[in-house]
Amino acid sequence: MEIALYPLKFHPILKEKIWGGRKLDLLLNKNDKKPNIGESWEISDVHEQSSIVSNGPLKGTTLKKLLSTYQNKLIGNSNFSLFGDTFPLLIKFIDAKEDLSIQLHPNDELAAKRHDSFGKTEMWYVMQADDDAKLIVGFNQKLTPEVYLKHLEDKTLTDILNIDKVAPGDTYFIEVGRVHAIGAGVMLAEIQQTSDITYRVYDWDRTDVNGHLRELHNDLAIDAIDFDMKDDFRVSYSKHANESNEMVTCPYFKTNFLQLSKTIQKLNTFDSFIIYICLEGQAHFESNNFSEVIEKGETILIPAILKEFVINSNNVKLLEVYV
Catalytic residues, by residue number, are 200
CA distances in angstroms from 271 to 9, 26, 78, 94, 108, listed in the order given: 20, 37, 7, 29, 23
d(CA 180, CA 182): 7
Q: Which residues pair with 104 in a beta bridge?
A: 199
Q: What is the DSSP string of 98-114?
A: SPPPEEE---HHHHHHH
Rounded alpha-carbon distances, angstroms, from residue 120 to 130, 208, 298? 27, 25, 23
Which one-letter DSSP state was computed for residue 158?
A: G
Residue 50, classified by CB atoms within 10 Å of its CB into exposed (0-12), middle (13-18) or buried (19+), is buried
Element (H, E) at 74: helix 72-75
